[in-house]
Amino acid sequence: MKAAVVTFPGSNCDRDLAVALEQAGADVQRVWHKDSALPEGLDLVAVPGGFSYGDYLRCGAIAAHSPIAAALRAHAERGGYVLGICNGFQVLTELGLLPGALMRNAGLTFLCKPATLRVETTDSAFTVGYQAGQQISVPVAHHDGNYQIDAEGLAALRDQDRIAFTYAPAINGSVADIAGVVSANRRVLGMMPHPERAADPVLGATDGAALFAGLVGRLALA
């Protein structure tokens, strides 16, 4: 399974994400934001957390217009898998690859702590390693993680079983406590919590490892 991790100015979780994918068995390449093309033969493009371009304008807004953005969108549109974590989730909403928007947290505070998540669906390559209803602990580190979508969009997410994770309990004001969603074709996942920070015993947490193991295992068989 071949993956690429994109690095923007201000990314700070790109190496962590690459290591988590490598430990799960993926062949990982690194891609710079000024590149205009992705490596050939990729199964997955991963967009890491951090503060791309300093989070100026809106979080992820400038990254969505970077040179690599067109190739990322084309990869998703031809059915490639995409994983966006934290700032990466914000980038994917700015690109229009996922619905909704990430707003300032309720209380306008930066949150950096372990968060309990409930796995809402296992019908995706990203969540196949979990059980529906399972509760896992994954760290969060964000100021703009308050997921918002209109009533019609929320109904569609629910009807199509596209809510991947919810916070249990609520932490940042997200509508329906949403922590992560998948695209209509179930090949794009955006989530605010950081599974790469909970993917190795040396980090003190391992609940995120199943996401990477399940993803790599599923795509290796595709």
* Catalytically active residues, by annotation: 86, 194, 196
Q: CA separation (Å) from 2 to 24, 39, 44, 72? A: 12, 9, 7, 15
What is the distance between the alpha carbons of residues 78 and 36, in angstroms, rounded to a whole number? 17
User: Is the distance from CB of 138 to CB of 193 less than 8 angstroms?
Assistant: yes
Instruction: Give the DSSP H/E element, type plus range, for residue 139.
Output: strand 135-142
What CA dihedral angle connects 51, 189, 25 and 40, to 10 degrees?
Answer: -80
What is the distance between the alpha carbons of residues 113 and 72, in angstroms, rounded to a whole number? 30
**Phi, psi (rounded to 5 degrees) for 214:** -65, -40
What is the distance between the alpha carbons of residues 62 and 72, in angstroms, rounded to a whole number? 14
- Closest-CA residue to 44 (of 96, 80, 87): 80
What is the distance between the alpha carbons of residues 27 and 13, in angstroms, rounded to a whole number? 18
